[in-house]
Structure 1
Amino acid sequence: MSGDEPCGAVAFPCAAGAVPANRGIGIRIPSTQASESAWEAGHRAARVPALVGGIVVICTASITVTVPAFASVGTGAVTAVLLGTPAWAVIRAHQAASRFTR
């Protein structure tokens, strides 16, 4: 991922085969670009981190808006999720895609 697109907004269409392997969007690492099967497998594996990250960010943001005292903790939690979720997604994608490149 280049960091300029939301993880879930890319992982789900790529996993469904709606976005073929390319050099523009998606998890673009050598293992996912080895074949179309590796591309789809990698993005299927990235769906879980994308979904979990999205849910955590939405819940944390909602709590932060309704409970102002939670703002500093909420901001830290959202930052951690926004940094950690893409890393988790790339690791999962690499592991799944590597099964197709051996």
Structure 2
Amino acid sequence: MIPPNSTVGIRIPPLQRSEAAWTAGHTAGVKPAVIAFCIAAVCSIIGLFAPIAYWGSIAAFVGGLTWVIASAVRAANSA
């Protein structure tokens, strides 16, 4: 777990309101980040043989980042 700090982590206002919001937001972002990473990794490996699959990696990154932020904000607002 990343403790509240000024350099590393998801640096958006809802997560910076309190230590509880910071912790809840970062905890909620782990699962979507891992899933998006695995999808991007698989697409990258496939991309070695079929370069069009690299677009899947880009989509996984963008979709995963959106999912992580949405989950983190939802959890931080609930904290």
State if a TM-score over 0.5 links the two structures.
yes
Matched, 1:82 2:61: yes
Letter in 2 for 1:64: G
Matched, 1:47 2:30: yes
Normalising by structure 1, we get a TM-score of: 0.71
Instruction: Tell me how far 1:23 sits from its aligned partner.
Output: 2.7
Q: Distance in 1 between matches of 2:22 and 2:74?
A: 12
1:13 corresponds to which residue?
Answer: none
Q: Distance in 1 between matches of 2:54 and 2:8?
A: 27
Q: Distance in 1 between matches of 2:55 and 2:75?
A: 30
Structure 2: unaligned runs, 5 residues or longer: none
Count of paired positions: 79
More helix by share: 2
Structure 1: unaligned runs, 5 residues or longer: 1-15
Normalising by structure 2, we get a TM-score of: 0.89
Secondary structure in 1 aligned to 2:15?
A: coil
Q: Distance in 2 between matches of 1:46 and 1:92?
A: 6
Instruction: Tell me how far 1:24 sits from its aligned partner.
Output: 1.4
Tell me: higher relative CO, structure 1 or 2? Use CA pairs within 8 A at least 6 residues apart. 2
Letter in 2 for 1:78: S
Identity %: 32
